[in-house]
Amino acid sequence: MTASAGSPPARVAVVTGASGGIGAAVAQRLAADGMAVVVAFAGRRERADEVVDAITAAGGTAVAQQADVADETAVAALFDRTEELYGGVDVVVHAAGIMLLSPLAELDLADLDRMHRTNVRGTVVVDQQAVRRLRTGGALINFSTSVTSLALPTYGAYVATKGAVDALTMVLAKELRGRDVTVNAVAPGPTATPLFLDGKDQETIDRLAAAPPLERLGQPEDIATAVAFLAGPGRWVNGQVLLVNGGVAR
């Protein structure tokens, strides 16, 4: 719901990668939970505006803000604007990321550099601002992947970047001792997003959908529910990488 006139919203969330897929679902879920949401995006202004429109049409509060997550100046400006608009930051969900798949023997190192810039440097840059600015009772939620455990072929370079996210998440949880701020990561399994479905034939999609005991692909809303738990009532979960994959075996 929207905040009453003249008063700040109860809680404020910044969601990166929020112009589509899981990030958009997270932004809409947190807004439905009563948070004001800053929909951060890299280059898809129209899609970010669509997410904002969906939130406001449902009675929520949201604004779009462009930021390259690997650019420390742009990310600082993202947090500055959030504080100017809403008075502070309570939840940061870093959902921005890219995935480029290849067997290691055939890997284009330029693809590795692209993933490292967004997935590793971007996480460091966003998390640095988050830990400097999150208010008491806040939550930082990074995005990892279940493939770090599943060890699927062609995912090597990608999971290398996400392994860095896992390690950083656990370190930050300890560095924030005494702040009453939780730091966790969610690790989705196969989820029906454009990022996941791109380039996969139907046979591959069907095989991956059959892997979980629940026998379906995850939906963005499934991941958003886990994020909402960590951002809200899940205060005793801290320094964890939460596998959100329908029970896919390691």
Can you give the pLDDT at residue 42? Answer: 95
**All residues at 6 or more sequence positions from 47 whose CB lies less than 8 Å from its CB, including other chains:** 19, 20, 24, 41
Can you give the pLDDT at residue 167? Answer: 98
136 residue type, one letter: T
Axis crossing angle, helix 122-133 with helix 72-86, rounded to the nearest 10:
30
Please say whether the dihedral angle defined by the alpha carbons of residues 185, 121, 43 and 39, taken in this order, is positive or negative: positive
Among the listed residues 50, 93, 30, 37, the one whose alpha carbon sits nearest the alpha carbon of residue 232: 30
162-195: b or e for each residue (b if 16 or more CB lie within 10 Å)? bebbbebbbebbeebeeeebbbbbbbbbbbbbee
Q: Any idea which residues carry the catalytic annotation?
A: 158
Name the percent of the chain in helix, strand, coil, to the closest 5.
Answer: 45, 20, 35
Encoded tokens for 45: 């202004």
pTM of the model: 0.93
Is 10:35 a contact under the CB 8 Å cutoff?
Answer: yes
Tell me how crowded residue 129 is: count the other CB atoms within 10 A of its CB. Answer: 21
Can you give the pLDDT at residue 208? Answer: 85
- Runs of H (alpha helix) within 5-155: 21-32, 45-57, 72-86, 109-115, 122-133, 147-150
DSSP string for 34-59: TEEEEEEESS-HHHHHHHHHHHHHTT
How far is 160 from 139, CA to CA, in rounded Å?
25
Please say whether the dihedral angle defined by the alpha carbons of residues 115, 116, 118 and 120, taken in this order, is positive or negative: positive
Can you give the pLDDT at residue 152? Answer: 87
Paired strand residues for 41: 66
How far is 26 from 224, CA to CA, in rounded Å?
5
Can you give the pLDDT at residue 9? Answer: 63
**Domains in the chain and their CATH numbers?**
11-242 (3.40.50.720)
Listed as ranges, residues in the chain with pLDDT below 50 are 1-5
Paired strand residues for 143: 186
How far is 36 from 33, CA to CA, in rounded Å?
9
